[in-house]
Structure 1
Amino acid sequence: MKAFQVSAPLDYRIAEVEVPKAAPGEALVRVAFAGICGSDMHIIHGDNAFVRFPRITGHEFAGVIEAVGEGVEDIAVGDRVCIDPVISCGHCYPCRIGRPNVCTTLEVIGVHRNGGFEEHVAVPAANLHHLPEHLGLDAAALVEPYTIAANVLDRMQPHPGDRLLVFGAGVIGLTILQMARAKGIEEVIVTDVIDERLAVAQELGARHVLHGRDQDVEQTVLELTEGEGVPLIADAACVPSLLPQMLRVASPAGRIGLLGFSPTPSDLVQLEVIKKELTLVGSRLNNRKFPEVLELMATGRLDPLALVSHRLPFDEMPDGIEMLDHHPEKARKVLIQIGA
């Protein structure tokens, strides 16, 4: 069968590999669609410390059950499913307190083990989620990025009437925008340095869009909030040097959700944190957010296909990688059709 295999940094191709078998507790999924994520690009570039090569990447995918392993219940051949890529042990401290997404022995499908950029993939049955009847497999492949958004918003604990400022209007920034609107946050401000991304953010419901190079973001945010600052800030730009500005534009008692994996240190002015009693929270992957996102999609409150800028057949996936590398301003979500 065909698989997108990364053998080493910048060494990737569509390869022929053996079809995996469903071990006890697993199911074999015939993959229909998979989305290319920024973290896939980090693996390709060799910037992911967790991956071991060779690796079949892909953690945003959906498909149809082809076979089930011994002991699997509630999953049958022919079921349409999407896959939560987070695999946790269930007994370490984070798992015991209900935060399996930071399990001490965490594995992520598509990072620590082979993922969805292959025609068939074996995954733990516990990680499968049945799809609502009218949700297409293409839309279902995009559940995972919305769980990232749901997780960071949950970590920030919004209150009624809170404003949200999103740094970065890439795919994750746009999912945070959509998720925030679906959860009742009416005023969302989005800032980026790419005009095309800001235009999409405005189409998706951003109240204000700010160009980070053409406008004074700090001054404008303070003007928009009557000098009070913003209670919720989501860092989807993942640029460590932006943290001091986030601290300055945060309102007293504000919450800042950080999503980046950069090892570069950030300047943190303790005075800003203490005088405002700010809360800085990290957010990694998702903590059991798939049911919430599936319900929002099924009821039409989330429109995942609005994120898709390109659909490519599996054989042309390397072209999608090249485009994301060299012309990221032209692409939002690149969706790969594998077996649909």
Structure 2
Amino acid sequence: MQSLKLYAKQDLRLEKAEEFALTSSDDVIIEVKAAGICGSDLSRYAKLGPYVKGTTFGHEFSGVVVNVGQAVTHVRPGDRVAGCPAFPCGSCQECKKGNPARCEKLTVLGAFRSGAFASRTKLPAANVIPIPDEVDFDTASLIEPSAVVAHAYYRSSIRPGDTVAVMGCGNIGLLAIQWAKLFGASTVYAIDIDSDKLTIAEKMGADATILPNTKPAHEAIQELEGEGVDVAVESAGSVTASAQVLALPKKGGEVVFMGIPYSDISIERFYYEKIVRNELRILGGWNAVSSPFPGKEWSTSIEAVRSGHIKVDSMITHRLPLEKGPEVFDRILLRDEFFSKVLLYPSP
């Protein structure tokens, strides 16, 4: 079968891989229909390298069940599914408390076990989630990042009528715009230095967009909103944005960090003092799982895409066969054309 394997930084190879076999009674073997490139995939490809040399890459996907172990009862061959790529240990203190996202030994598909950039992948039954017939495979492949956003918002204090600013309109930020509306936000501001991303943000439901190239984002927010927003989301994973987002909320407001910067952050006094003087509440949202596993993030995401409240078509800019994977990763890094969500399609 086809497989994209990561051997080192910027060393991604299309290779043949062995077919999966059932080795446990709760195994589920899935034919991958669509797999998305995540921002974390790009960071590992460009900056960090693989956890294990030569591991099949990728963790956002949808597909069709091919075979199941004897103990599997909730899906059967032919069923359409999405895959939760997180594997909490189940035995650490946080897992015992019912906080699998905080698992001390959490691993992810495509890290220490074969991932979704392949013709087939294999998951434990608990990680396999049936999808409704009306949800297409492209949309289903984005249920995982949708669940990441839902998980963070469930941790927040967002409530109907709140104003929200989303700083960073990559794929997580774009989903954060729609989820803010689902949580009842009256106004959502989208902030990014890329005008192409802001164009998509408008299609995703942003009420206003801010391009902070000539004026700091917090000044633009104050002109539009007065004292600031109720909730500010950092979804860029940017060193700069991780500081600047602190100036967006009003006094007593909240900041939710969803992005992951891969460099040290140095915060100017102006931004740091916003935490103290404005008595901000600072939260982090990590991964997409809760208890009972995999969590309400998944059931609500599936219902949101089924009902059409979460729509992802505007986010998808490239649909490519899996063999174009190594090439497209390099093209994304070159930044000489615009990419939002890229989907890869393996051959059966």
Fold in common (TM above 0.5): yes
Segments of 5+ residues of structure 1 without an aligned counterpart are none
* Match of residue 298, structure 1, among 302, 306, 317: 306
The equivalent residue for 1:275 is: 277
Establish whether residue 115 from structure 1 lines up as the match of residue 115 from structure 2: yes
Instruction: Measure the CA separation in 2 of the matches of 1:194 and 1:215.
Output: 14
What secondary structure, in the 3-state scheme, does the structure 1 residue paired with 2:73 have? coil
The equivalent residue for 2:246 is: 247
RMSD: 1.8
| Deviation at residue 242 of structure 1 after TM alignment | 3.0
Give the aligned residue type for 1:250: P
What secondary structure, in the 3-state scheme, does the structure 2 residue paired with 1:324 have? helix
| Deviation at residue 263 of structure 1 after TM alignment | 4.1
Q: What do the CA deviations read for 1:132-169 (whole angstroms, capped 9, x no partner)?
A: 12111121111111112112222222022111111111
| Deviation at residue 250 of structure 1 after TM alignment | 1.7
The equivalent residue for 2:134 is: 134
The equivalent residue for 1:163 is: 163
| Deviation at residue 327 of structure 1 after TM alignment | 2.6
The equivalent residue for 2:292 is: none
Contact 1:88 1:107 in 2 (8 A): yes
Instruction: Measure the CA separation in 1 of the matches of 2:89 and 2:20.
Output: 23
Distance of aligned partners of 1:44 and 1:284 in 2 relative to their CA distance in 1, 3 Å threshold: same
Contact 1:243 1:268 in 2 (8 A): no
Distance of aligned partners of 1:181 and 1:85 in 2 relative to their CA distance in 1, 3 Å threshold: same
Instruction: Measure the CA separation in 1 of the matches of 2:175 and 2:207.
Output: 15
Contact 2:2 2:347 in 1 (8 A): no
Give the aligned residue type for 1:65: V
Give the aligned residue type for 1:283: G
Distance of aligned partners of 1:276 and 1:71 in 2 relative to their CA distance in 1, 3 Å threshold: same
| Deviation at residue 177 of structure 1 after TM alignment | 0.8
The equivalent residue for 2:286 is: 284
What secondary structure, in the 3-state scheme, does the structure 1 residue paired with 2:210 have? strand
Give the aligned residue type for 1:39: S
Instruction: Measure the CA separation in 1 of the matches of 2:218 and 2:261.
Output: 24
Instruction: Measure the CA separation in 2 of the matches of 1:221 and 1:192.
Output: 13
What secondary structure, in the 3-state scheme, does the structure 2 residue paired with 1:330 have? coil
Distance of aligned partners of 1:109 and 1:267 in 2 relative to their CA distance in 1, 3 Å threshold: same
TM-score normalised by L of structure 2? 0.92
Identity of aligned residues (%): 28
What secondary structure, in the 3-state scheme, does the structure 1 residue paired with 2:254 have? strand
Q: What do the CA deviations read for 1:114-139 (whole angstroms, capped 9, x no partner)?
A: 21001111111100100012111121
Contact 1:33 1:339 in 2 (8 A): no
| Deviation at residue 293 of structure 1 after TM alignment | 0.3
Contact 2:160 2:186 in 1 (8 A): no
| Deviation at residue 276 of structure 1 after TM alignment | 2.1
Trace 1:53-68 onto structure 2 (pairs within 5 A): 53-68=53-68
TM-score normalised by L of structure 1? 0.94
Trace 1:4-43 onto structure 2 (pairs within 5 A): 4-24=4-24, 25-43=26-44
Moved more, 186-195 or 242-251: 242-251
Instruction: Measure the CA separation in 2 of the matches of 1:211 and 1:35.
Output: 27
Instruction: Measure the CA separation in 1 of the matches of 2:239 and 2:164.
Output: 19
| Deviation at residue 300 of structure 1 after TM alignment | 0.9
Contact 2:200 2:314 in 1 (8 A): no
Establish whether residue 237 from structure 1 lines up as the match of residue 222 from structure 2: no
Number of residue equivalences: 338
What secondary structure, in the 3-state scheme, does the structure 2 residue paired with 1:63 have? strand
Distance of aligned partners of 1:57 and 1:167 in 2 relative to their CA distance in 1, 3 Å threshold: same
The equivalent residue for 1:180 is: 180
Segments of 5+ residues of structure 2 without an aligned counterpart are 290-294
User: What stretches of structure 1 move > 6 A for 4+ residues in a row?
Assistant: none
Distance of aligned partners of 1:328 and 1:257 in 2 relative to their CA distance in 1, 3 Å threshold: farther
